[in-house]
Structure 1
Amino acid sequence: MPRSKRTWSRLRRAAVVGSATLTVVAAPSAALAADNLPPLKPLVQDLGTGGKACGTGAERPYVSEAPRLTAVLYDPESDDGPVEGNLVQGDFEAWWTGADGAEQRRTYTSYTSDSGREQSWRMPDDVPPGTVVSWRVRANDGEAVSAWSSEDGGSVCEFVIDDENPEEPVVSSAEFPEDSWTSPVGEYGTFTVDSPSDDVVKYRYSYIGGGYKTVSPKEPGGPAAIRFLPVDIGPETLSVQAIDHSGRISGTVNYRFYVTDGRAPAARWNLADPAGSKSAAAESGPAAEAGTGVTFGAAAPGGTDLKSTASLDGTGHGFLSPGTAATDTRRTFAVGGWVRPAATDAVRTVASQDADGAPGFTLGLRPGSDAAPVWSFKIGGAQVSGGTPETGEWAHVLGLYDAETGLATLYVNGHDVGTPQKATPAEAAGAFQIGRARGAAGYRDRWHGEVGDVRVYDRVVVPEEATELGARTPELKGHWSLENADGGVSPELHGGAPLKLSDGATIRRNVDDGCALDPDCTPATDYALVGDGDLTLDGTTGHAATDEPVVDTGDSFTIGVVVRLADTEPEHPMTVLSQGGEHADAFKVRYDPASHQWQLVVTGSDESGAKETVVGRQESADGGQGAGHRLAVVYDDATDQIKLYVNGYTSADATATFHGAWHSDGGLQVGRGQVDGAWGEYLRGSVDEVHAFSGALDGSDILGLGSGNEPCIC
């Protein structure tokens, strides 16, 4: 009985395993031969030349060396059966016209493989460069062959070997002249790249420290434009290479230029005018007339260059306006300033610009989706929101519209918040407004609170600039070296509030034991932590405190201390530093023996049993030995983050998000904290080098605390 084709297919596979030279297997009978279906004609879309698609004429690919030709070949098993498992090979054929005008032809039969698998032929090295080479393929199952891929509506494939690299490109720019300090931060410009080679299809480029990007000319060998936004002051280099249609790459051209400071604001009002002023003077742009609801001489945010601000009363008279536009809202611009809301219960506008019966943009605050307020920048159908406005808290807000990208971005305290949104602004050629927004029936959404240093830029404010605008330099509020005490009072080094010592709290001074001159002397081991003295607390009543708050716990602050516990296994938690109100600590730093952690604890209100947020780092107690631990607590109101540093370092476990900061009115406590509305957690051990700052120190500044030297916050 004749075998079926499926059975014969298995036999044929076995016959060719391990033998790439076996290309034809005779049919066992005329019946089988009659049953065999010929392979399918290879499709042009299944053919490739050196990894590029098959093409002819203007579409023919260029390659940098003799390519590997590929084809996916199919051999059906029967009219209605699957093709998997059938074996097939490819007959390749290539030809070209040699330099002498004679045709050159090469052929190759590939290894046998399963139907549907890719077959290939690596072209020989004698294929001449710069010559059009044509090729085709057919499928062969050992019993029958398909039509050539070029037949029956198919097409030959062509390629040309290009063995020459393109010439180096030429770079030029009107906005960024080479070797010149004339390129400002925040302003887009264009580089033009061109190549003397007429086969360049793209240019690869990068800047210092950046990855590669590519740009393509409209026509091969033509110029291409590269847009660039400078974001850093200093030297910059654009490196460019030309890539031709075969993938060959030219040498690198390095175009060096220098980036300068960005242009000053197009309009700026410090709003630090004398009390009683009727208008706000402008550093640039026209003066802004003030409504009768504006009071100059209000408080300014600490840690900034501002000396005073303007207070707006939230009524129809609380506004300022120059009476003319400050920016073209259809072009790139940024607007921002320092603000302190007195109310966050409704939409409140910091700045806007009039259009026809509506504002062209608004920057301010609004109720969020969960009724909690958020900062907001709205322009051209886009609204970006984020951050948490707090009554009585300073914030720097800045909205940016980048016409190049079409994106609106919002920065709060120097950090981008929310998600940038695509915007399509319309013309808003009306007057610029501070403290209100135009509506169909008049002005509305009035600001209630302080406003200072309002700036309008007609360029991009880059992220680093936004960070600088929203930065507040930490200020030293106190440094207690705890070297001495007079009448139970240890002074603050700069004449500030002293620490008053209680019973059980003493200043320990190092004693000159004369060992420096006596080789037989046994040196003392109980030296002060830092310098010549420290504060020793008995763990029962001993503590030291100021009469008034040292830092504003509702705003950013940093407290640092050096501490050494007297016990290896303390019997209860011990508080090193705290500051709070009548019933609770706004913050405290303590050692918790149950978890073997130094902990930072912050509370959400001045109430007994108030909700606590706790972060900590695992450490062993000192047991009266060693140099102690350098601790620092940092609260950053700009990011709503609290951090505990131990010996100069923090971690994810020692960091948390905290939104409940409140203004405590109690003094700074050293060596005790509140427990259920009463004093407790007294420290048994030694304390030294207490530092207090308004503002959040960064990690590099934290490393310098506790050394005994005056810290430099630069």
Structure 2
Amino acid sequence: MARHALLRSALVGAALSAVLVATPFTAAAAANAAPDRPAAADLTTSYQPCVSGDERPHLNRAPALRSVLHDPDGDAVAAQYELSWEDASGEPQKRELTTGSRPSGSGFSWHLEDDIPEDTTLQWRVRATDRTGWGPWSSDGGVGHCEFVYDPTEPAPPVITSPDYPEDPEGWTDGVGVPGRFTFDAPTEEAVKYRWSVYGSPTYLVDAPAPGEPVTVTWTPERSGVYVVEAQSVSRAGSTSDYARYTIRVSSGRTPVASWALGDAAGASEAAPGAGSAPATAGTGVTFGAAGPEGTAYGTAAALDGTPGAYLSPQTTIADTSASFAVAAWARPSTGAEGDMTVVSQDGGAIPASFALGVDDGRWSLAVADGPADPVRATGGTAAIGKWAHLTAVYDAPARTARLYVDGRLAATAEGATAAPAAGDLQLGRIRTAAGHAGNWHGGLADVRVWDRVVVADEAATLATRKAQRTGYWQLNEASGATSPEYTGGQPLTLSGGAAVTETDPIAGTGHLELTGSGGYAATATPPVDTRAGYTLGVHVRFGDDLPTRDMTLLSLPGDHTNAVEVRYEADTGMWQLVVADADTPTATHTITETYANPWGQHIAVVHDDPADRIRLYTDADLAAELPLPDSATWPATTGLQLGRGRTATGWTDPMTATVDDLRTYTGVLSASDLTFISLPWEHPDI
């Protein structure tokens, strides 16, 4: 009986086995493909690519080993990671991790603990399984392992030294514009980079030539004061040390090594030095006593006529062109000046000139040369005929950079500049060429200075400062007949019919000008400012309870056909409009910007910032609108300042109806604080 039962069991088992062999499931299992070999592009060590050898990453934290795994059948897969290394005795070590299953194409990771060995090359690889078979390792096929080094050690701080700025707790060192060398030296070999900064500066990162070797950087102070240089060592793993700090005390910049104001008396044969000991001998084409730049301390200047005798020279070397230097001057090209001209240069030795500051193809230019090849040139800003400009040329030897400032603003920078050492004479108004001296200046020169250091941006801006000069102040408190006097006795305002000074409800002082709209306006006989250069206009205006319902002009500086500048009221929008014309022609193009009007009273100011080539509209000392105003768009007004009307191609605009008070005009740009003062509703005779 038992024997028959065993026989039946064997037969049933054989039959079941035959059935299983024939099922689709078993057929699919027999056809199963192994998972793909993980691609190197899908492997990262803490998000860094899978690499080996010298490119292996150094990490200051135990990494996560990440992979993306695929199965050609679309089966779910699991990851098997293997981490290996050799211990100190050379014995191989290994750790493994197998993850749970996830869909094909999923990401997997193994977050290592910080007990892995330090400063050791660790290798890892990964493969996938679909629970039926194993795919190849990521290292198979000659691809190799992914490698990394775990290096959590924090490097030691560097030691900071400087031969130029010693760390003296009491002493002050030159100074602004003088480059200083600072050396960072790590005491151990962990440091491969240094992170450094100076108070108020960005943070820089510089590579060490080799692990643990020192690095020297250059920093130029731009202001006097106490500074702290900070530096950190950075390991290959990215760990940073504590800060090393180095305190220095920077004095003001050294004064010029030479200067000539060029304000000598008419008939003089040389320019007296303001700094240094060498007077500048004048050539036959130089005349002293010409008008200097307005708004500066240089009321007179030297005029050079562009002939071969148009030059001055101290007949000695001034600029040490083997190191950093700077030169500055006020310069005014004259009408009729043509071609390239030179403001300042220095004769070279093996080459004609080591540097030249002047005009190149109609633009201001600084050229620096160290050989017969074309010089490195920083060019920027139009050299406008008949207009004074302040030029500052800077050669930064450590940075090999040439910078040109025009009217206090950086106009151009040229990298890779090298000035050849030059033992020749400094030249004012000409340059030495292979054929002899040439490029003689035609125009005015004033205040030429030479430094044996870099001149920084703030200094360049200060050198170019022009103080605004008041050219007219009409308080409008009184009138005699048809005129209202100017405060200092200058040209009065002439009042037309419909314009009268009254003491009723003035805006400032004891009276104001009332424009009734019935043909009334007020005007000066001639323009109180030159519209080709910088100027400021300011006036109080009040409409009443409501804004007007017709267009009107508040003020204008007209030519023969239109206005160089006009401020008008636009009734449709209730806006003040600042309008400038590109030419004094009936078909001139007008450019407009605008801001909201206030019927109860506003102070309106127009500021032509000539160095910035901008014209701005201020309301109550707040900047309300502005327009670009390049030199090509400026032309001289030929008619006096108009209050209450403006010129059009067919005549004058409709007269204005408003209360106007406290009119002021200036050459130059008023400061923000001065604009605030004159916008207040009381008189300020001293501004």
Shorter-chain TM-score category? 0.7 to 0.9
Cα offset, 1:221, TM superposition: 3.6
- How many residue pairs get aligned? The number is 651
> Match of 1:654?
626
Tell which deviates more after alignment, 678-687 or 603-612: 603-612
Tell which deviates more after alignment, 357-366 or 430-439: 357-366
- Which amino acid is 1:565 matched to? F
> Match of 1:710?
684
Cα offset, 1:557, TM superposition: 0.3
> Match of 1:63?
59
Rate the CA distance shift 1:361–1:540 in 2: closer, same or farther, 3 A: same
Cα offset, 1:240, TM superposition: 2.7
Q: Are 2:621 and 2:679, in contact at CA under 8 Å, matched by a contact in 1?
A: no
Q: Paired residue for 1:562, among 540, 556, 559?
A: 540
- Which amino acid is 2:327 matched to? V
Q: Are 1:705 and 1:711, in contact at CA under 8 Å, matched by a contact in 2?
A: no
Q: Paired residue for 1:497, among 465, 486, 491?
A: 491
Cα offset, 1:319, TM superposition: 1.2
Q: Paired residue for 1:629, among 581, 599, 602?
A: 602
> Match of 1:306?
298
Secondary structure of 2:677's match? Answer: coil
- Which amino acid is 1:551 matched to? V
> Match of 2:262?
271
Q: Are 1:42 and 1:148, in contact at CA under 8 Å, matched by a contact in 2?
A: no
Rate the CA distance shift 1:340–1:681 in 2: closer, same or farther, 3 A: farther
Cα offset, 1:32, TM superposition: 6.1
> Match of 1:190?
181
Secondary structure of 1:302's match? Answer: coil
Q: Distance in 2 between matches of 1:331 and 1:46?
A: 54
> Match of 1:13?
none
Cα offset, 1:687, TM superposition: 0.5
> Match of 2:279?
287
> Match of 2:99?
110
> Match of 1:262?
253
> Match of 1:22?
none
The superposition leaves residues 181-221 of structure 1 with CA deviations (integer Å, 9 ceiling, x where unpaired) of: 31411121122223445423333223334433222333434
Tell which deviates more after alignment, 408-417 or 602-611: 602-611
Secondary structure of 1:387's match? Answer: strand
- Which amino acid is 2:284 matched to? T
Rate the CA distance shift 1:154–1:614 in 2: closer, same or farther, 3 A: closer
What are the ranges of 5 or more consecutive residues in structure 1 without an aligned counterpart? 1-26, 78-84, 368-372, 511-526
> Match of 2:190?
199
The superposition leaves residues 216-253 of structure 1 with CA deviations (integer Å, 9 ceiling, x where unpaired) of: 33343443323211112333332333333443333334
- Which amino acid is 1:648 matched to? A
> Match of 1:11?
none
Q: Distance in 2 between matches of 1:316 and 1:149?
A: 80
> Match of 1:386?
380
Secondary structure of 2:622's match? Answer: coil
Q: Are 1:74 and 1:139, in contact at CA under 8 Å, matched by a contact in 2?
A: no
> Match of 1:521?
none
Secondary structure of 1:704's match? Answer: helix
Q: Are 2:475 and 2:662, in contact at CA under 8 Å, matched by a contact in 1?
A: yes
Rate the CA distance shift 1:151–1:710 in 2: closer, same or farther, 3 A: same
> Match of 2:528?
550
The superposition leaves residues 65-94 of structure 1 with CA deviations (integer Å, 9 ceiling, x where unpaired) of: 3321234656678xxxxxxx6765432223
Rate the CA distance shift 1:606–1:58 in 2: closer, same or farther, 3 A: closer
Rate the CA distance shift 1:607–1:52 in 2: closer, same or farther, 3 A: closer
Q: Distance in 1 between matches of 2:330 and 2:204?
A: 38
> Match of 2:112?
123
The superposition leaves residues 474-528 of structure 1 with CA deviations (integer Å, 9 ceiling, x where unpaired) of: 1222322223334444333344333333332222224xxxxxxxxxxxxxxxx22
Tell which deviates more after alignment, 551-560 or 136-145: 136-145
Q: Paired residue for 1:237, among 198, 217, 228?
A: 228
Cα offset, 1:159, TM superposition: 5.2
- Which amino acid is 1:696 matched to? V
Secondary structure of 2:309's match? Answer: coil
- Which amino acid is 2:383 matched to? P
Rate the CA distance shift 1:665–1:420 in 2: closer, same or farther, 3 A: same
Q: Are 1:303 and 1:475, in contact at CA under 8 Å, matched by a contact in 2?
A: yes
Q: Percent identity?
A: 39
The superposition leaves residues 108-160 of structure 1 with CA deviations (integer Å, 9 ceiling, x where unpaired) of: 123556777754210135x1564747342231233444555667756556655
> Match of 2:128?
140
Q: Are 2:37 and 2:137, in contact at CA under 8 Å, matched by a contact in 1?
A: no
Q: Paired residue for 1:354, among 322, 347, 355?
A: 347
Secondary structure of 1:654's match? Answer: strand
- Which amino acid is 2:308 matched to? G
Cα offset, 1:301, TM superposition: 0.5
Q: Distance in 1 between matches of 2:449 and 2:279?
A: 13
- Which amino acid is 1:348 matched to? M
> Match of 1:440?
434
Cα offset, 1:406, TM superposition: 2.5
Q: Distance in 2 between matches of 1:144 and 1:265?
A: 84
Q: Paired residue for 2:594, among 616, 621, 646?
A: 616
Cα offset, 1:291, TM superposition: 0.8
- Aligned-residue Cα RMSD (Å) equals 3.4
> Match of 1:516?
none
Rate the CA distance shift 1:239–1:117 in 2: closer, same or farther, 3 A: farther
Rate the CA distance shift 1:323–1:73 in 2: closer, same or farther, 3 A: farther
Q: Paired residue for 1:165, among 143, 154, 158?
A: 154
Normalization by structure 2: what TM-score? 0.84
Rate the CA distance shift 1:390–1:162 in 2: closer, same or farther, 3 A: closer
Q: Distance in 1 between matches of 2:665 and 2:83?
A: 83
Q: Are 2:175 and 2:254, in contact at CA under 8 Å, matched by a contact in 1?
A: yes
The superposition leaves residues 648-698 of structure 1 with CA deviations (integer Å, 9 ceiling, x where unpaired) of: 2234x5323243323334333222222336444322110112121110124
1:40 aligns with 2:28: no
Rate the CA distance shift 1:385–1:121 in 2: closer, same or farther, 3 A: same
Q: Distance in 1 between matches of 2:156 and 2:646?
A: 75
> Match of 1:217?
208
Cα offset, 1:100, TM superposition: 12
Q: Are 1:129 and 1:163, in contact at CA under 8 Å, matched by a contact in 2?
A: no
Q: Distance in 2 between matches of 1:263 and 1:242?
A: 34
> Match of 1:697?
670
Task: Kindly report which structure 2 residues correspond to 1:283-682, keeping only aligned pairs within 5 A, or say none.
Answer: 283-284=275-276, 286-342=278-334, 343-355=336-348, 358-367=352-361, 373-380=362-369, 381-418=375-412, 420-510=414-504, 527-565=505-543, 568=546, 570=548, 572-619=550-597, 622=599, 626=600, 628-651=601-624, 653-659=625-631, 660-676=633-649, 678-682=651-655
Q: Paired residue for 1:177, among 150, 156, 166?
A: 166
The superposition leaves residues 246-270 of structure 1 with CA deviations (integer Å, 9 ceiling, x where unpaired) of: 4333333443333322222233222
Q: Distance in 2 between matches of 1:421 and 1:461?
A: 17
